[in-house]
Every structure is written in C-alpha cells, then in structure tokens.
Amino acid sequence: MKVTVTVNGSDVVADVADRTLLVHFVRDVAGLTGTNVGCDTTSCGACTVLLDGKSVKSCTVLAAQADGSAVTTVEGLADGPDDMHPVQRAFRAEHGLQCGFCTPGMVMAAVSLLAENPSPTEEDVRSGLEGNLCRCTGYHNIVRAVLAAAPDMKEGRTS
C-alpha cells in the first residue's frame, strides 16, 4: 500500500508491502540506517524511534500504521556532529556508549523519557529505560548521561 511518513521533517512516500515494519521503512525506504533491529520480540529497544513525539519500538509498528504520522530517528535529533542534542552530548560526555548498536534506540528512549519526566531520579531513569537493552555499558554511564541531560533539555533544546 502507499504510505506517507514524515521522517525527520521530510515526507517519505512509498508503495510498500502491507506487512512492512516501520523499522524497515525507516532503514530501507527512508535510507536511515541509524535505527537498528536487535530482537524479534519487542524486547530490546534498539529500534526505538519517536512516533508523533512518543517513543515506540519500530519493529512492532507497521509502516501502514504510521501512515500520515511523523517519525523522528536519531538522525533527526541533531543538525550535525557539532550541533548535538543535549541527550547526544551527554551520552558522549558521560561515555554512555561503547559499540553503539543500542545507542540510537537508547538515545530516543531517553529523549522521550525526559520529555515526559523532565526531572527524573536515578530510579526513574532506570525503570524508564527498562525496555532498552545494552550489552556493553552496564547502563551505569547511560543513566548518568540521561540525568546529566535533563537540565539542558529543560532549558529548551527538545527537538
């Protein structure tokens, strides 16, 4: 079916198979490979994007369901490596990533978390990220990064 999704501000229009998952629409149709697939069971969160502003696991949304909606991926957060979103900046400053595979999904989950809870406690962050697996960092620095990003994000830059 014909699907139109506004991805990072640009309309992406394509005729796709009905069963096309949003994550494959983003990767293969929109050509944005930052969003990764890490599991088959809606468990790992590597594919997390914002759908109309809220974090979703794009492996468990049909492209057809997102027709007419706006999707933000990790590529849509920053204008470039020198102008990163507060969450991206904090992930770098706090060493919140190692291999980088979970990172785009983790960052998007964190952006959504902070939008809903601008002043989270450590416990809020830990439970708020329970749907995102990371195998490298032990989460320690990811949690620190999200806590560190909170004040910056409140000040305005909320993409």
Partner 1 sequence: MSILGTRVVRTEDPRLLTVGGTYVDDLRVPELADAVRVTFVRSPIAHARITGIDATAALEAPGVVAVLTVADLTDLAPPPPDDGRDGTEGAPLPMGGPWSEPLLAVDRVRYVGEPVAMVLTDESYQGEDAAELVSVDYEPLPAVIGIDGGLDGGTLLFDGTQSNVVVTKDTPADESAFDGCDVVVERTIVNQRLAPMPMEGRAAAARWADGKLTFWVSTQNAQITRFILAGVLGLDLDAMRVIAPDVGGGFGAKVGADRDAILVAWAAKHTGRAVRWVETRSENLVGMTHGRAQEQTFKIGGTRDGRILAYRLDVVQDTGAYARMSGFLPGLTNLMAVGPYDIAHVEAAYRVVVTNTTPISAYRGAGRPEATAAIERALDLFAAEIGMDPAQVRRENLIPPDRFPYTTPGGAVYDSGNYVAALDKVLEAAGYGELRAEQARRRERGDVLQLGIGLSSYVEITAADAAAGETSRLEVHPEGTATVYTGSSAHGQGHHTAWAMLVEAELGIEMSKVTVIHGDTDLIPEGIGTYGSRSLQLGGVAVHKAALDVKDQARRLAADMIEAAEADLELDTATGTWQVRGDPASRRTWSEVATHAGDAGLVAYVQFAGGAPTFPFGSHLALAEVDVETGKARLIRHVTADDAGIVVSPVLAEGQRHGGIAQGVAQALLEEVLYDADGNPLTATLADYAAITAAELPSFELVRSETPTDVNPLGVKGIGEAGTIGATPATQNAVIDAVSHLGVRHIDMPTTPRRVWAAISEAASGNGQGSTGQGREGQ
Partner 2 sequence: MIPATFTYKRAGSLEEALDLAARDGDEAKFLAGGHSLLPLMKLRLAVPEVLIDIGRLREFSYVRDEGGYVAVGALTTHDELSRSGVLASELPLLAHAASQVGDPQVRHRGTIGGSLVHADPAADLPAVILALDATMVARGPAGQREIGIGEFFRELFETALEPGELLTEIRIPKPRAAGWSFQKFTKRAIDWAIVGVAVQGGQVALVNMDQTPIRARGVERALADGAGPREAAAHAAEGSNPSDDINADRGYREHLARVLVGRALEESSSRA
Residue 75 binding target from partner 1, partner 2, none, CB below 5 to 8 Å by type? partner 1
Tokens representing residue 68 in the block = 């007419």
Q: Which is nearer to partner 1, 69 or 73 (CB)?
A: 73
**Contact partners, residue 154, CB within 8 Å, separation at least 6:** 118, 119
Tokens representing residue 32 in the block = 């944005």
Question: How far is residue 108's CA from residue 70's CA, in Å, rounded to a whole number?
Answer: 14
Shortest spacing between CB 6 and partner 1, in angstroms: 19
**Contact partners, residue 40, CB within 8 Å, separation at least 6:** 59
Shortest spacing between CB 99 and partner 2, in angstroms: 21
Determine, following the binding rule CB under 8 A, whether residue 112 of this chain makes contact with partner 2. Answer: yes
Residue 136 binding target from partner 1, partner 2, none, CB below 5 to 8 Å by type? partner 1
Tokens representing residue 152 in the block = 């910056």
Question: How far is residue 15's CA from residue 152's CA, in Å, rounded to a whole number?
Answer: 40
Residue 38 binding target from partner 2, partner 1, none, CB below 5 to 8 Å by type? partner 1
Residues that bind partner 2 (CB under 8 A): 1, 17-19, 21, 24, 40-43, 45, 48, 51, 54-57, 59-62, 64-65, 67, 109, 112-113, 116, 127-128, 130-132
